[in-house]
Amino acid sequence: MDPTLTWLDFTADDRNRMRRVLDLLTEQGTVDELGLGTLRDALSDALFPGTSSIQTRLRYILFVPWIYQKLERDRAKAAEVQDRARRAELALIGPLSRAVDSEGVIGARAGGTLQRLPSAVYWGALVRWGLFVPAKSQTWYHARFDSLVRGQTDLPRADDPGVTWTKRPTWNPQLPEPPHDLAEAATFELSRDEASFLRDQITARCPGSLLAWLAAEGEEPTGPFWDEPAVERAPDSIRTTVELARRFSLHLEGAPLIYNLLLAEERHRRQGQDEDTEQIESYRGLLAEWAAAEDAEAPFNPMDLWSFAAGRGGRPIGPQRRFVEGWNRRVTDVGAVAIADDQQVRELVRNREMALKTGRSRFSNEGRLLDWKGQSGVGRLDFRWFRVRQLLADLHRGLEA
């Protein structure tokens, strides 16, 4: 019997928990089968700087410096700091898993075998949001731990941002103090002071981003970021980036649908299974829904995407640009409603996947075709929103505490 998921409409908290479960299921369908990842990530970084698709809860960004601050106070040696920090991070798994709100615990399943620690997951944010003052890598910090600790001897703590420092701190001087029972009773619940500090850091270090705007002007998110009420009040520059991301996400949503339709047809041609016939009809239905939404929009202009990329100091790779422009040209010429049976689009998608995957292409590797689970890379690009939404929810709950 196939597993099913039933929606029961209880409280707002119940709905939020179920929404996060659905987000995690959706995450499995974000495989970059057609090589759009660099464009997706460029927009993600512009919208939500410092975030990543593997961050889970906001308070981890405080847990990590609190752990290292204690090691600095204990005058740990550089040779042992990595091991001691690891043990301290792993020690959080137990209390966080026992907390009332335990969703998003890093290492809940892996336990002591966890490979990617919270510090590695959040280090980019620690640098980008100005919590780790030297703005260097974690490896750099570990290697220079002894000298950094010696340089901070007797460094005073300041709550006044106007203080002139004679010694440079390792961690942001305004970082809130950890709770005294952190090691025994860690939770994801932010205090108001912690949330205010993080909001101020995000707005100061990520000006002009949607993340900073929603941190300062938004509220607990409820839907896609382009539908958030605060976006309507945002400056033009933010709304322009949001609209580019929304429109790019919808316009290219049809490409992975075509890809999966082709796989279903190919496997049916080779094996003739009824299951693949159902998949073919399903993807044709999804393409019809996508076409109706796409045809209701103004035409997408890829030049907007290339201008955005150039403005951020990058440019799309030649084959990537040709694929996007080729897709756009066929949608414009024949209309989205005709895309499912357009031979040029079918060849475009097939050739793109084969060029990217070479010998692992599902069109040339029968083993990989037979291993296809019926869905790969399907769904609109959401630019890390399924993660950022939880971070912002944590933030605004803390601000209301």
- Determine whether 183 is exposed, middle or buried from the number of CB atoms within 10 Å of its CB (0-12, 13-18, 19+): middle
346's tokens: 């079918």
Tell the burial category of 41 from Cβ atoms under 10 Å away from its Cβ (0-12, 13-18, 19+). middle
Which stretches of the chain score pLDDT less than 50? 1-30, 153-158, 163-166
- Inter-residue contact 96 to 56 (CB < 8 Å): no
Q: Are 40 and 383 in contact (CB under 8 A)?
A: yes
| pTM for the predicted model, two decimal places | 0.87
How many whole angstroms separate alpha carbon 129 and alpha carbon 209? Answer: 12
Closest of 86, 92, 115, 121 to residue 105, by C-alpha: 92
What residue type is assigned to position 378 of the chain? V
Q: What pLDDT is stored for residue 317 in this prediction?
A: 81
* Angle made by CA atoms 265, 271, 273, in degrees to the nearest 5: 75
- Smallest Cα–Cα separation from 325: which of 312, 344, 353? 344
**107 torsion bin: left (phi>0), alpha (psi -120 to 50), beta (else):** left
| Mutual angle of helices 12-27 and 385-399, in 10-degree steps | 150
Q: What pLDDT does residue 125 have? A: 98
What amino acid is encoded at 336 in this protein?
A: A
Closest CA to 114 of 137, 86, 81: 86
Q: How far apart are CA 294 and CA 289, in angstroms?
A: 9
Q: For 174-226, how does the pLDDT look when each residue is reduced to its tens digit (9 = 90+)?
A: 999 999 988 888 999 999 999 999 999 999 999 999 999 999 999 999 899 99
Q: Tell me how far apart the alpha carbons of residues 37 and 238 are, in angstroms, rounded to a whole number.
A: 21
Looking at residue 167, what is its pLDDT?
Answer: 65
320-333 pLDDT tens trace: 999 999 999 999 99
